[in-house]
Structure 1
Amino acid sequence: MGELPEDIIPLPQKFYEQPTLDLAKALLGCLLVKETSEGVAAGYIVETEAYIGPGDMAAHSYNNRRTARTEIMFQRSGLTYTYLMHTHCLFNVVSGGEENPEAVLIRALEPRFGIEYMKNKRGIEDLPSLTNGPGKLTKALGITIEDYGHPLTDPPLYLATGFSPESISVGKRIGIDKSGEARDYLWRFWITDNKYVSRHQKSEYVYKVKRT
């Protein structure tokens, strides 16, 4: 699959120590990288969802629910929270800081490096369908439940600088209909008009990203 350019290096710990909603937006355009024995696969994050426990009924940590699965959410920001939903592994970035169990779900990627490897892992050729879902992207990159707890500042699983989107769309999260008023929180973010987003729905609003 080849190697990544030398200037692609993990983002620092400080990046993860911003408020969860800010982090969910800042993650858009970042490069998610997974190194394996077969090479490297990576893609740009194009869609995220924030989960802010313990007051978020859609969060695994609602009411400070502390279990073997959610324990990592109570640790420092920037760690990997992977869990199984049905037969799919989902990947989250722990946020909120210690004892504040929050996380950001990565919902979709735009494939960038190791595309043939990802196609083989998924068994499909259609590029837009390769990583346009939280279970699809983990399978494509080789992210597994074994990555639980891994610090995202270190290889083999990490985030790196990618690109800054011109605009971000904001809307309701997906698949949480039984979570009371939390189902209406506008905590889903995606790069406007990106064809790799998991589900295209009407946004509540769109805003331009300020350049710094």
Structure 2
Amino acid sequence: MLSEYQKFFTARPTPQIAKDLLGRLLVFHGRKGDVGGWIVETEAYVGEQDSASHAFGGRRTDYSESLYGMPGNLYIYQIRSHYCVDIVVQDTEEPQGILIRALEPALGIEQMIENRGQDGFNLTNGPGKLMQALGVQSRSMDGQPMEHAALQVDLSTERRIPAKIIAGPRIGVNAQGKDALKDYRFIVAGNPYVSKMKRRDADDLTHGWR
């Protein structure tokens, strides 16, 4: 039987879950204290039929095995020198996931700046950047149930509500793939920590929250 936590990550379309993650707190309980921030950008990947997915066409490797696990599990992978985190969604053996692309820092900000060696909006405005800022630079938590892992979405903390959510194409996927232009990327409109956010589009007053 699924826990209440696991149920959050299944039984509804993956893009809907990806939108519901916006405004929720992602926390890493590290050795130097808690660090984390509000999720402001996500991307949905909808499994074997999705040309941008690691599971496209039924592809399954030891590296991506965690993607086939329980809803709410972590799928941590590496692109070149950068680590990224997906949350596994849907039922076991249904390899769908949601990439956490950007955070607005909220906890342990000074530690995040030290981890990253940078501050400002560039601290967490990309999937590799946020993992570096959190201090997660390995795949040691790959496959772990997020509700028991050191890295988790805190579903007990009240969610911040975006004033507006914008959907658009995902970033960095194969432009020739059949699903390259699907609107599976979701952002808090106007939040300056969204990756590739143009300064003229950023809301410096409210950061896009109600």
Alignment TM-score > 0.5, same fold: yes
For 1:122 and 1:37, the matched residues in 2 are separated by 16
One-letter code aligned to 1:176: V
Unaligned stretches of 5+ in structure 2?
199-209
Shift of 1:72: 1.1
Unaligned stretches of 5+ in structure 1?
1-10, 202-210
2:122 aligns with one of 109, 122, 129: 129
> Is structure 2 residue 135 aligned with structure 1 residue 138?
no
2:190 aligns with one of 168, 189, 193: 193
Change (3 A) 1:146 1:44: same
- Identity in percent: 42
Listed one character per residue, the Cα deviations across residues 27-61 of structure 1 (whole Å, up to 9, x for unaligned) are: 10010000111111010000001111101111000
> Is structure 2 residue 16 aligned with structure 1 residue 22?
yes
2:64 aligns with one of 43, 65, 70: 70
> Is structure 2 residue 174 aligned with structure 1 residue 177?
yes
Residue 207 of structure 1 aligns with which residue?
A: none
2:160 aligns with one of 154, 158, 163: 163
- Tell me if the contact between 1:21 and 1:187 (Cα under 8 Å) persists in the aligned partners: yes
**Post-superposition, which runs of at least 4 consecutive aligned residues in structure 1 deviate over 6 A?**
none
* Aligned pairs, number: 192
Q: Secondary structure of 1:107's partner?
A: strand
- The range that moved more, 166-175 or 14-23, is 14-23
1:108 aligns with one of 102, 127, 137: 102
Shift of 1:155: 4.1
- Tell me if the contact between 2:43 and 2:185 (Cα under 8 Å) persists in the aligned partners: yes
For 2:71 and 2:189, the matched residues in 1 are separated by 27
CA-based RMSD? 1.8
> Is structure 2 residue 96 aligned with structure 1 residue 99?
no
- The range that moved more, 189-198 or 179-188, is 179-188
Any residues of structure 2 matched to 1:41-56 within 5 Å, and which?
41-56=35-50
Shift of 1:122: 0.6
Q: Secondary structure of 2:66's partner?
A: helix
Residue 202 of structure 2 aligns with which residue?
A: none
For 1:149 and 1:155, the matched residues in 2 are separated by 10
Q: Secondary structure of 1:90's partner?
A: strand
Shift of 1:111: 0.1
- Tell me if the contact between 1:64 and 1:101 (Cα under 8 Å) persists in the aligned partners: no
For 2:24 and 2:96, the matched residues in 1 are separated by 19
Residue 31 of structure 2 aligns with which residue?
A: 37
- Tell me if the contact between 1:108 and 1:131 (Cα under 8 Å) persists in the aligned partners: yes
Residue 74 of structure 2 aligns with which residue?
A: 80
- The range that moved more, 169-178 or 190-199, is 169-178
